Structure 1
Amino acid sequence: MLIVQLSDSHLGADPAQRYRGVDVQARMNLILACVGDYRPDLIIVSGDVSDDGSIESYQRAAEQLDALGCRWVWLPGNHDHPVTMADVRPLETVVYFGGWQILLLNSWIEGEEGGRLGADQLAHLEAQLAGDTTPALIVLHHPPVSVEAAWMNEIGLEDRDAFWAGPGRFDHVQAVLCGHIHHERTCLHNGVPVMSVPAIAAQFAPDSPEFAVDDRAPGGFRLIRLSFEALQQPCLSTRVEYVATDR
């Protein structure tokens, strides 16, 4: 099973709107054309679909994703408006696909850049994982780990310690996917791969102590292949595909 992770398109109500100098609709068009060449089984959009929370931006994104002819799901980021999003396409929380469970979390906090899962959602997630040992992939917008950029950690996931103390301790969690940091990053936390993906929109400098945009970095997406090896052991392989685009 092939999954594509997309994130952080920051579309506006106006298709001509730019995000930090980037023509985001043009980038979306190019990247989705490349995604379509892979014929994925499932597309996951890990938040900040919109920059202004407008219904026009969600409708446009949904039309383009529908045109790829495969199943797709999305979840909200800090720039999104979850109610408007759900009016265009429901926000699913669990997807069963190819012998895996994909758990989609909502780390959105109204009016804030940072994220939080909250006690209720963490309890629900823990109950889901305790009751179903199917290999699991967890997806959320805000990274549940510290990153190199200090300014980004200030707007990361507030309750990441609670996440790892609860749902993050289950052995059948194979990986965690996130967005928000606008560049590719992979690390191991408690033995679990935690992977971010390049933004469709502008990329942020990964090691800058203060906010900075990396003007040279292209947008992209992550390819994730889920399968089973001998004795039905889950297997996950992944790589990032960059799409050269003009600003």
Structure 2
Amino acid sequence: MTRLVQLTDCHLHADPAARSRAGFPLRQLEAVVEAVRHERPDLVLVTGDISQDETHASYHNAERVLASLDCPWFWFGGNHDQPGLMRDIRAIHDDIDLGVWRLLIADTCVAGQAHGELGEDRIAALAERLAQDERPTLLAMHHPPLAVGSVWLDEIGLKDSEALWQALMPFTQLKAILCGHIHQAYAGRHSLEEGDVMVYGCPSTTDQFLAGADAFAIDEASRPGYRVLDLHEREWQTWIERVDL
């Protein structure tokens, strides 16, 4: 079995004491990472929006906290991030070997925009990568490829999701997609000809968004959290954990 933990949407600032709308992002990330350590993961994946202010110092703050994990960790950018600054500190991978499983990462970000879009070239490249390996596969991206039921969030989701699903149609090895961006627990599914692909969202390590809201709203009753995935030979279990502050 391989245990993967997903973190997302840390929204850190250069100032370690900076506040978010509902808390202190760095302090909350530290608490979440400490909880994750007790899960004994084989790897941790951070699915974008590591920074809020897009500064080099914010990524150094993230790296310092994540370096306390007792396992490999990987990150990639969201719509708030500067991938060039991230790469100055740590590489961004697009294919991670999980042994029996494989993890692919797709860049959904559009410079200067909150919404996501892959475009024809990135979709074609993803299909080529999927065709190279028949192992059970996870796909990770920042923007969700399904509507999540919040009007304002769905307006800044993945704009070309239908084109993506069409390209994914032949690949029965794709089992699930992990996304960030939505700051809430979420599980949905998309039916392909040969079966369903699950889509999982994850709580933020900082502020949580109110599920089902028409307009932007913080869920002040919810806590930061993370997603755990236990990957077996062809099956998996996944669940959300919340962290008391």
Smaller-chain TM-score bracket: over 0.9
Please give the TM-score of this superposition, normalised by the length of structure 2.
Answer: 0.95
Whole-angstrom CA distance in 1 between matches of 2:201 and 2:10 = 14
**1:3 matched to which residue of 2?**
4
**1:198 matched to which residue of 2?**
203
Please identify, of 162-171 and 87-96, the stretch whose mean Cα deviation from structure 2 is larger: 162-171
Q: SS of the counterpart of 2:142?
A: coil
The CA deviation string for residues 152-208 of structure 1, in whole angstroms up to 9 with x for no partner, is: 111001111111000354111010000111100101111111000000111011111
**2:244 matches 1:238:** no
Change (3 A) 1:185 1:89: same
**1:213 matched to which residue of 2?**
218
**2:241 corresponds to which letter in structure 1?**
E
Whole-angstrom CA distance in 2 between matches of 1:56 and 1:69 = 23
Which stretches in structure 1 are left out of the alignment for 5+ residues?
229-233
Maintained 8 Å contact 1:75/1:105: no
**1:215 corresponds to which letter in structure 2?**
E
**2:43 matched to which residue of 1?**
42
Whole-angstrom CA distance in 2 between matches of 1:81 and 1:157 = 19
**2:98 matched to which residue of 1?**
97
Whole-angstrom CA distance in 2 between matches of 1:238 and 1:98 = 18
Change (3 A) 1:168 1:143: farther
Q: SS of the counterpart of 2:27?
A: helix
Whole-angstrom CA distance in 2 between matches of 1:63 and 1:244 = 21
Runs ≥4 in structure 1, deviation > 6 angstroms? none
Maintained 8 Å contact 2:22/2:220: no
Please identify, of 24-33 and 162-171, the stretch whose mean Cα deviation from structure 2 is larger: 162-171
Q: SS of the counterpart of 2:35?
A: helix
Which stretches in structure 2 are left out of the alignment for 5+ residues?
none
**1:67 matched to which residue of 2?**
68
Please give the TM-score of this superposition, normalised by the length of structure 1.
Answer: 0.95
**1:159 matched to which residue of 2?**
160
Q: SS of the counterpart of 2:235?
A: strand
Aligned residues: 240
**1:231 matched to which residue of 2?**
none
**2:132 matched to which residue of 1?**
131
Whole-angstrom CA distance in 2 between matches of 1:119 and 1:135 = 24
Whole-angstrom CA distance in 1 between matches of 2:148 and 2:3 = 27
The CA deviation string for residues 93-139 of structure 1, in whole angstroms up to 9 with x for no partner, is: 00011211100111111111111112221111101111211110000
Maintained 8 Å contact 1:186/1:195: yes
Maintained 8 Å contact 2:150/2:212: yes
Maintained 8 Å contact 1:184/1:197: yes
The CA deviation string for residues 213-243 of structure 1, in whole angstroms up to 9 with x for no partner, is: 1111001000000111xxxxx1111110011
Q: SS of the counterpart of 1:128?
A: helix
Maintained 8 Å contact 1:4/1:35: yes
Change (3 A) 1:103 1:14: same
> After superposition, where does 1:138-153 map in structure 2 within 5 Å?
138-153=139-154
Superposition RMSD in Å:
1.0
> After superposition, where does 1:167-178 map in structure 2 within 5 Å?
167=168, 169-178=170-179
**1:12 matched to which residue of 2?**
13
Whole-angstrom CA distance in 1 between matches of 2:208 and 2:26 = 15
